[in-house]
Chains A and B, each alone.
Chain A
């Protein structure tokens, strides 16, 4: 995988000096402590621990850091968890190099990659999520996604690509990408706030 990424990023225009690879979370943490980075790609199948925890830690340190999750198609739950933890986007190993390159480029551009099955999963999450928040009714919890965002998610789950969505909703492509990025952000915030609320409710936090 490392070689592959090396190749892809090379095509994108990064030279070797700009790239750092680690093989374990411990190494990664050590590396992060030494120097700042413009983007991080995390494989959630890391041997010595939960990649998602790493993502959460990285996001806590620097909220603006783009984090990309490397995953396989069968772990959509992992992808969404990673997004909730603060990842900016994801890529699937099964895809073509070309497609992976597209994902990375879109993240660098400021957008976010998305797939129909991820969109469906998020929609399901919101359905159950709103149910839950209504049950607990905490006043400080942020509202779920806006109507526009839900609309976009539904169109993605039907198979439309960003261009088609932007045509259909009379928005620009970058606006659509921005929306998707916001959706991910809200997911992360939502989950964090929810976690804090839950922790408070259970007396784990003051």
Chain B
């Protein structure tokens, strides 16, 4: 398992190309050339920016909606609980490729659901995936829709682990619903929050299928992500050395972001 991790690093310092797939050891060491090329490559910088945009907007929305759903489901309602939980979680189990195809149709400017509903109230829906401005927010909306269920289930487990005595003590002391949420729920949910944040962020940083199926990185690279560019460089053009340097850069970013989150969200009372 450790071998490919080291192998990617080694490959990122070489000019590994198509012919090296059959003769891997013929690849030449070119030092940091791939990396210096990478940070002058406008397409890569664009992909880095797009990935950041996707994460910065998508992760908080996913966590926020997941937390909201969990709190609502845990607020003492009994009827239809399972029904709601199953509905919210259903997008998680389905293949991203399939739901991306479905969403492409939902967002379609002529036959799509949203366009049709907009026409009914006398509006014209924009061409979501064909617009540089709206394509990325559309992908984010879909990603939030698909991943919110995971966050919800984890938060629900975290909420249920909070002893009822603690809540009742707070109520007896006169805490309102909001105070209870802020002073009891949020602090006791910290470990869950940490786990959900880290896992969601890692998943979002690796985003690939959504732009691959829905926009192919377009229009004019506005939804090109690091993983998608890496796939193209590595497997359409077989610039595998160069693609490896992208993979490693993304890995280092993931590592740094994870460590930062662990630091910031760590339980300071311990």
Indicate, yes or no, whether A interacts with B: no
Instruction: Point out residues on A near B: beta carbons under 8 Å.
Output: none
Instruction: Point out residues on B near A: beta carbons under 8 Å.
Output: none
